Structure 1
Amino acid sequence: MANIHFHPDHALLSRFAHGELESASSIMISAHLEFCPYCRQKIAAIETEQAGLLEKSEPATLSPALNAMMQQIMDQELVDETVDEWPDTQLKLEDKSYPLPSALQRHNEKIGPWSRLPGNIKRAQVDVSGTSKMNFIYMDSDSALPEHTHQGQEITLVLAGEFYDENGTYKPGDFIIQTEAHKHLPRTREGKDCLCLTLLNAPLHFTSGLATLLNPFSQLFFR
Structure 2
Amino acid sequence: MANIRFHPNHDLLSHYACGELESASSIMISAHLDLCPHCRQKLASIEAEQASELEKSEPAALSPSLNAMMMEIMAQDCVDIPVLDEAPASQLALEDKAYPLPSILQRHNDKIGPWSRLPGNIKRAQVDVSGDSQMNFIYMDSDSALPEHTHQGQEITLVLAGEFYDENGTYQPGDFIVQTEKHKHLPRTRDGQDCLCLTLLNAPLHFTSGLATLLNPFSQLFFRR
Q: Percent identity?
A: 83
**Matching residue's letter, 2:3:** N
TM-superposed CA distance for 1:88, in Å, is 5.3
- TM-score normalised to structure 1 length: 0.89
- Runs of at least 5 residues in structure 2 that lack an aligned partner in the other structure: none
Return the alpha-carbon distance in structure 1 between the equivalents of residues 89 and 200 of structure 2: 22
After TM superposition, list the pairs within 5 Å mapping 1:191-206 onto structure 2.
191-206=192-207
Question: In the alignment, is the contact (CA less than 8 A) between 2:89 and 2:103 conserved in 1?
Answer: no
Question: In the alignment, is the contact (CA less than 8 A) between 1:110 and 1:127 conserved in 2?
Answer: yes
1:145 matched to which residue of 2?
Answer: 146
TM-superposed CA distance for 1:61, in Å, is 2.4
Flag the 1:110–1:87 CA change in 2: closer, same or farther, 3 A: farther
Return the alpha-carbon distance in structure 1 between the equivalents of residues 111 and 62 of structure 2: 39
SS in 2 for 1:21: coil
**Matching residue's letter, 1:204:** L
Return the alpha-carbon distance in structure 1 between the equivalents of residues 114 and 158 of structure 2: 20
TM-superposed CA distance for 1:50, in Å, is 1.0
After TM superposition, list the pairs within 5 Å mapping 1:150-161 onto structure 2.
150-161=151-162
Flag the 1:125–1:78 CA change in 2: closer, same or farther, 3 A: farther
1:2 matched to which residue of 2?
Answer: 2
Return the alpha-carbon distance in structure 2 between the equivalents of residues 121 and 92 of structure 1: 15
1:37 maps onto 2:37 in alignment? yes
TM-superposed CA distance for 1:55, in Å, is 2.2
- TM-score normalised to structure 2 length: 0.89
Return the alpha-carbon distance in structure 2 between the equivalents of residues 152 and 203 of structure 1: 7
1:59 matched to which residue of 2?
Answer: 59
Return the alpha-carbon distance in structure 1 between the equivalents of residues 83 and 118 of structure 2: 40
TM-superposed CA distance for 1:82, in Å, is 4.2
Runs of 4+ in 1 over 6 A off after TM superposition: 77-81
TM-superposed CA distance for 1:40, in Å, is 0.8
- Runs of at least 5 residues in structure 1 that lack an aligned partner in the other structure: none
